[in-house]
Amino acid sequence: MRIETHGQQIEVTPALRSYVESKLARLARHFDQPFEVRTQLSLDKPAHKAEANISIGGRTLHADASAENMYAAIDLLADKLDRLLLKHKEKLVDQHRGNSAARSYG
């Protein structure tokens, strides 16, 4: 898994970068194949905003979160991405099961 972190109107400090990487590291447990996460941190006064795009298997998944501070926004973003990847994985498994069932009965 490769994580890119960019800032829009905010400097991405090493502490923020390592926090993003530590929070998003748990996403790798869902898929064995490598995927890419692009994270953008921005400041929309008074809220802090974190957005991410995940490129996996030819698809792009997007999530965003905002909170009073950047660390809380990153936490919310990690939770949303976790749920999004689980949903994507369930769709892939259901689709695979549906195709194999259709072939065996058909």
Q: In a 10 Å sphere around its CB, with 0-12 CB exposed, 13-18 middle and 19+ buried, how is residue 68 labelled?
A: exposed
CATH class entry, domain 2-105: alpha beta
Q: Give dist(CA 94, CA 97) in Å, integer.
A: 5
From the list 40, 45, 50, 44, the residue with the least C-alpha distance to 71 is: 50
pLDDT of residue 104: 47
Tens digit of pLDDT for each residue in 13-45?
999 999 999 999 988 887 777 889 999 999 988
**β-sheet bridge partners, residue 40:** 6, 51
Question: How does pLDDT run across 75-99, given as a tens digit for each residue?
Answer: 999 999 999 999 988 887 776 666 5
pLDDT band at residue 53 using 50, 70 and 90 as cut-offs: very high
User: Could you state, in order of their start, the residue ranges of all structural domains in the chain?
Assistant: 2-105
Residue pointed to by tokens 């890119």: 4
Confidence band, pLDDT 50/70/90 cuts, at residue 59: confident
